């Protein structure tokens, strides 16, 4: 797995398919269609490495890194919801 390659592929998807900015699930579906459209989604989900692809979590991490560097690739409403969820989790984690 080459994360630099994954990051470039994810960035291209985010640039070209605006709906993928709102949902990691849609982003991973677009990634699957780019990497292995001939393979069932379930097979790809279970073993993406088998098809020269990265895992769902790796795609998600790349998306986060890209959007931190390029905020224009964020959906503003979703970004606000994600920030609130992060604050909620922090409050929960410290016992609040």
- The tens digit of pLDDT for each residue in 38-77 reads 999 999 999 999 999 999 999 999 999 999 999 999 988 8
Q: Contacts by 55-63 with C-beta closer than 8 Å and gap 24+?
A: 55/1, 56/24, 56/28, 58/1, 58/3, 58/6, 59/6, 59/10, 59/24, 59/27, 59/28, 59/31, 60/24, 60/27, 60/28, 62/3, 62/6, 62/7, 62/10, 62/11, 63/10, 63/14, 63/24, 63/27
pTM summary value: 0.84
- pLDDT recorded at residue 13: 98
- pLDDT recorded at residue 83: 85
Number of separate domains in the chain: 1
Q: Which domain holds residue 24?
A: 3-93
């Amino acid at each position: 797995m080459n994360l630099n390659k994954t990051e470039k592929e994810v960035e291209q998807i985010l640039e070209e398919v605006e709906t993928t900015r709102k949902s990691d699930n849609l982003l991973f579906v677009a990634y699957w269609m780019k990497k292995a459209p001939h393979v069932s989604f379930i097979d790809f989900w279970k073993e993406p490495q088998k098809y020269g692809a990265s895992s769902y979590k790796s795609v998600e991490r790349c998306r986060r890194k890209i959007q931190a560097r390029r905020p224009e690739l964020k959906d503003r409403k979703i970004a606000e919801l994600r920030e609130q969820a992060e604050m909620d989790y922090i409050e929960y984690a410290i016992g609040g």
